[in-house]
A and B are shown apart, each in its own frame.
Chain A
Amino acid sequence: MQNQKLAKQLMKKSKTARYERFGRLLSLSALLLIMAIVLGIIVFVASKGLATFFKDGVSVKDFFTGTLWNPGTKTPSGHQAVGALPMIVGSFLVTILAALLSTPFAIGTAVYMTEISPKRGAKILQPVTELLVGIPSVVYGFIGLSVVVPFVRNTFGGSGFGILSGTFVLFVMILPTIVSMTVDALKGVPQFYRQASLALGATKWQTIWKVVLRAATPGILTAVVFGMARAFGEALAVQMVIGNAALMPQNLTSPASTLTSVLTAGMGNTVMGSMQNDALWSLALVLLVMSLFFNLVVHMIGRKGAFKK
């Protein structure tokens, strides 16, 4: 009797072991919850966004090549007026222009911070870029509205609202992001690369240009892609300065729109489940897919160019 009881007690898991399993399951379930959220977002947005094509019968070709955006009505040629091309072009234009503009500035600043004057870089530039990374996008939008739009209006004519203003706002917005990530990439280049180059008689500039920047290229590319992803997904700052006209951009100063700006402006004015609403969800789906694409690019760069230490 006594022995049986003892055997039973010994066979059972101890209190600590049960506590251990409980804790492990608890932390695992938190992780699985995050996983479920990610899957949920993708499934929800995809099912909503694809309804335009399956339920409302809009052809994929019309969606990506049509230039008339007025869901619920028909184009003169009898197709559904769900042409998202103006927004897609607008989004890509502001993103690419902003990245082209800010990359040289960001790399120059990052090189200055790590290679030329590390002390001043750490003391002044580092905290300032950190603060600027954290500034909310509405504040950028507000400054864009009160500084950039009048500036563009007076310099280039037009209303001031348009792709160009959007580009300037995004340029300033993604600059700190790219700078701080490029700084990390440059700091990751081993010190002996520089020493070896200098010992071979290369000047400081030759070392920077031919050794440090080359070695840090994957990291810098990642930084630029991150900046582009941020620019592509930015909603309010762009929406405030771009003019919100769902038209093909005629030039850089004509009012235009991006995927995000149409989404934020339109979502509140449509009824759930209506065709107008589904069309907006399709735009959200395009945004989601692009975000996944940027992620993939970052992964590919990372796999190819990881530093071997």
Chain B
Amino acid sequence: MNRTQKQSRFAIACLKMVAGFVVLILAFLIGYIFITGLPNVSWHFLTSPAKAFNAGGGIGIQLFNSFYLLVLAMLISLPIALGAAIYLNEYAKDNWFTSTIKTAIEILSSLPSVVVGLFGFLLFVVQFNYGFSIISGALTLTIFNLPLLTRNIEDSLANVSDDQRQGGLGLGLSKYETIIHIVVPASLPGIISGIILCSGRVFGEAAALIYTAGQSAPALNFADWNPFNIDSPLSPLRPAETLAVHIWKINSEGIMPDLTQVSSGAAAVLVLAILIFNLSARFIGRKVFERMTSVK
């Protein structure tokens, strides 16, 4: 074996060690979250309200708030993102206007979430006078979510082959009809995966919510589903601390005795939820595709 071959062997061994080390870190991270967290997760933990001073509190309200905010934010952002993606992928010409808008979307997606949160605070909480509330939080999350969702949908629209569009146009449909009736359904598996992946990101977001959805979780009356009552779970004007905000909050100023257990349990639930989002994004996307194309 000559010098260069030895060098090559050595370098590749080093690379393997680096990769091994990184795997070790990542495995430790995931292992740590689940091993310290999951023993604290029980049905009681998932459903009971948090306690500020005593041990034995749960994360029930926070968990509900997280999901409610996620659903609202998705309901608001999906039509906007879909419209924007349709325009970008189907109508936009390659000119300065399009490239300006693309740059704007990139800027929005790389803004620190705390800046988005502060903007939401300024606009929705102060200017529109919504206060710390679900609706302020959902609108802020929409801003946070829009750029990535738009890009995901745009990518899945771009993956639809041009034959489909030509087919639609050849049958005499207008361009918009072709898009709505042919291109969007054809890209549905990709769009659904994109939505679910974005959900994971929205679900774990905290910095954008601290000053918009607030840091308190008042008791809810789960028998009252009238959205106009302030203690109803559906009320859009009540403050709503989410799971991610809860972890941050109790670790920065919490005084309950079982702080570590609660936060490790909550962290495990959060990561588990994201894991489920990730896995189901692939699974559901594939299932929808099989269903629609009967390709197996």
B8 at the interface (CB under 8 A from A): yes
Chain B residues whose CB sits within 8 angstroms of the CB of A138 once the complex forms = 204, 206, 244-245, 247-248, 267, 270
Tell me the smallest distance from the CB of A42 to a CB of chain B, in Å.
Answer: 8
Tell me the smallest distance from the CB of B195 to a CB of chain A, in Å.
Answer: 14
Residue of B nearest to A204 (CB): B8
Give CA–CA (A109, B180) in the complex, Å: 43
Tally of contact residues, B, Cβ under 8 A: 92
Report whether B119 and A206 are in contact in the complex, using a CB–CB cutoff of 8 Å.
no
A137 at the interface (CB under 8 A from B): yes
Give CA–CA (A138, B242) in the complex, Å: 12
B241 at the interface (CB under 8 A from A): no
B290 at the interface (CB under 8 A from A): no
Report whether A204 and B12 are in contact in the complex, using a CB–CB cutoff of 8 Å.
yes
Chain B residues whose CB sits within 8 angstroms of the CB of A143 once the complex forms = 29, 32-33, 267
Evaluate whether A105 and B22 lie within 8 angstroms (CB atoms) in the complex, with A41-B111, A111-B15 already known. yes
Report whether B104 and A142 are in contact in the complex, using a CB–CB cutoff of 8 Å.
no
**5 A-B pairs with the lowest CB-CB distances in the bound complex, closest first:** A233-B112, A136-B204, A30-B83, A108-B18, A23-B176
Give CA–CA (A45, B114) in the complex, Å: 12
Report whether B19 and A112 are in contact in the complex, using a CB–CB cutoff of 8 Å.
yes
Tell me the smallest distance from the CB of B268 to a CB of chain A, in Å.
Answer: 9
Tell me the smallest distance from the CB of A229 to a CB of chain B, in Å.
Answer: 6
A-B contact pairs, 24 of them (CB 8 A): A23-B180, A24-B175, A30-B81, A34-B84, A44-B119, A105-B21, A108-B22, A109-B19, A112-B18, A128-B26, A131-B30, A132-B26, A134-B197, A135-B204, A135-B271, A142-B267, A205-B12, A226-B110, A233-B115, A260-B112, A268-B210, A291-B110, A292-B107, A295-B103
Evaluate whether A206 and B108 lie within 8 angstroms (CB atoms) in the complex, with A111-B15, A136-B244 already known. no
Chain B residues whose CB sits within 8 angstroms of the CB of A240 once the complex forms = 248, 251-252
| Mask of A83-126 contacts with B, CB within 8 angstroms, 1/0 | 00000000000000000000011101101110010000000110
Interface of B is mostly: helix
| Mask of B1-31 contacts with A, CB within 8 angstroms, 1/0 | 0001101110110111011011101110110
Chain A residues whose CB sits within 8 angstroms of the CB of B277 once the complex forms = 134
Evaluate whether A20 and B174 lie within 8 angstroms (CB atoms) in the complex, with A34-B147, A288-B111, A288-B115 already known. yes
Stretch among B67-75, B85-93, B221-229 lining the A interface: B85-93
16 other A-B residue contacts (CB within 8 Å) besides A205-B9, A265-B252: A27-B90, A33-B84, A37-B143, A128-B26, A131-B274, A131-B278, A135-B29, A137-B207, A143-B29, A143-B33, A172-B29, A203-B8, A205-B11, A236-B206, A264-B114, A291-B111
Report whether A45 and B248 are in contact in the complex, using a CB–CB cutoff of 8 Å.
no
Residue of A nearest to B10 (CB): A205
Chain B residues whose CB sits within 8 angstroms of the CB of A226 once the complex forms = 110
Task: Point out residues on B near A: beta carbons under 8 Å.
Answer: 4-5, 7-9, 11-12, 14-16, 18-19, 21-23, 25-27, 29-30, 32-33, 36, 79-84, 86-88, 90-91, 100-101, 103-108, 110-116, 118-119, 121-123, 126, 143, 146-147, 150, 174-177, 179-180, 197, 200-201, 203-207, 210-211, 215, 244-245, 247-248, 251-252, 260, 263-264, 267, 270-271, 274-275, 277-278
Give CA–CA (A272, B118) in the complex, Å: 12
Report whether A229 and B87 are in contact in the complex, using a CB–CB cutoff of 8 Å.
no
Which residues of chain A from 29 to 54 have a CB within 8 Å of any chain B CB? 29-31, 33-35, 37-41, 44-45, 48
Residue of B nearest to A130 (CB): B278
Chain B residues whose CB sits within 8 angstroms of the CB of A291 once the complex forms = 107, 110-112, 115
Question: Which of these, A39, A105, A129, A284, contacts B115 with CB under 8 Å?
Answer: A284
Chain A residues whose CB sits within 8 angstroms of the CB of B107 once the complex forms = 38, 291-292, 295
Give CA–CA (A260, B179) in the complex, Å: 43
Give CA–CA (A31, B91) in the complex, Å: 11
A216 at the interface (CB under 8 A from B): no
Report whether B112 and A113 are in contact in the complex, using a CB–CB cutoff of 8 Å.
no
A278 at the interface (CB under 8 A from B): no
Question: Which of these, A27, A111, A233, A281, contacts B114 with CB under 8 Å?
Answer: A233
Chain B residues whose CB sits within 8 angstroms of the CB of A20 once the complex forms = 174-177
Give CA–CA (A11, B11) in the complex, Å: 75
Question: Which of these, A17, A38, A104, contacts B174 with CB under 8 Å?
Answer: A17
Evaluate whether A40 and B123 lie within 8 angstroms (CB atoms) in the complex, with A112-B18, A142-B247, A294-B110 already known. yes
Evaluate whether A34 and B104 lie within 8 angstroms (CB atoms) in the complex, with A41-B115, A48-B122 already known. yes
Evaluate whether A232 and B112 lie within 8 angstroms (CB atoms) in the complex, with A24-B91, A48-B122, A142-B264 already known. yes
Evaluate whether A235 and B113 lie within 8 angstroms (CB atoms) in the complex, with A44-B122, A136-B204, A240-B252 already known. yes
Residue of B nearest to A102 (CB): B22
Chain B residues whose CB sits within 8 angstroms of the CB of A272 once the complex forms = 126
Which residues of chain A from 166 to 219 have a CB within 8 Å of any chain B CB? 172, 175-176, 179, 203-206, 208-209
Question: Which of these, B104, B206, B211, contacts A267 with CB under 8 Å?
Answer: B211
Chain B residues whose CB sits within 8 angstroms of the CB of A209 once the complex forms = 11
Question: Which of these, B16, B19, B201, contacts A125 with CB under 8 Å?
Answer: B19
Evaluate whether A287 and B91 lie within 8 angstroms (CB atoms) in the complex, with A44-B123, A134-B200, A295-B106 already known. no
Chain A residues whose CB sits within 8 angstroms of the CB of B112 once the complex forms = 232-235, 260, 287, 291
A279 at the interface (CB under 8 A from B): no
Give CA–CA (A197, B25) in the complex, Å: 34
A7 at the interface (CB under 8 A from B): no
A165 at the interface (CB under 8 A from B): no
